[in-house]
Amino acid sequence: MDETRLQQLLAIYLERSTLVVPHEFPCVIHDDPDDDIFVHAAIAGGASYIVSGDPHFLRVGSYRGINMISPREFSSRFEDGIRV
């Protein structure tokens, strides 16, 4: 990816991002507790999905309505027109 395209994508991500401050810190990813920070952010942001290829997330599957799916699964749902 060239620098121009990278900067365009970064601008889009920043424009569509929301800064969240977690207030709950449950232990969810028991195989790799350092990954829990992503769950904390997802809870604080009201996320429906965590998209990751990390097997620790995929083994959990879901937590409090947050579905943990692979990039391939997310892409497939998006391409099939399923609201993700």
Distance CA 12, CA 47 (A): 18
10-47 pLDDT, tens digit per residue, is 999 899 999 999 999 999 999 999 999 999 999 999 99
pLDDT tens-place string over residues 50-79? 999 999 999 999 999 999 999 999 988 877
Q: What one-character-per-residue DSSP string does 21-75 give?
A: ---------TT-GGGHHHHHHHHHHT-SEEE---HHHHHH-EETTEEEE-HHHHH
